[in-house]
Amino acid sequence: MELTKKISDKIGVFASITCVVHCAITPLIFIANICTQSCCNQAPLWWRSIDYIFLIISFIAILQANKEQALNKIKVLFWLSWTLLAFFIIDESIMLFSTSHHLKYIPALAIVCLHMYNIRTCRCQDDSCCL
């Protein structure tokens, strides 16, 4: 459990940054690939499923990080950001609302910032678990 307390935020930062990179390079890959394959205008299923893998990893990292977080507003911001990220990713898949796909960067970067905040500050009521 001690190891989990110390690395949950680092895993969260890594997963969130990797998610942002994944989202950023997807259009570049398909722009480069458009000349060779004119029949496919959508990402392959395995590539789109990576979004959901990132959601699961970030959910677990936020869950672990919040166990040691003393400030309720940070907990709320974590879950609000994750919920918005999940909404934008799911909406991009099912196209229920016409939201910009760029909006998912906002909650993803918020999750990165919140995990970095957790890494830099004490997350418990007392000083016993400060990093």
Give yes or no for a contact between 89 and 36, defined as CB atoms under 8 angstroms apart. no
**What integer pLDDT is reported at residue 50 of this predicted model?**
80
> By percentage, how much of the chain surpasses pLDDT 70?
69
pLDDT at 118 over 60: yes
Q: What pTM, to 2 d.p., does this model score?
A: 0.68
**What integer pLDDT is reported at residue 42 of this predicted model?**
62
Distance CA 55, CA 57 (A): 6
When pLDDT is averaged across residues 14-24 and rounded to a whole number, the result is 74
For the chain, the average pLDDT equals: 76
Q: How confident is the model at residue 131 (pLDDT cuts 50, 70, 90)?
A: very low
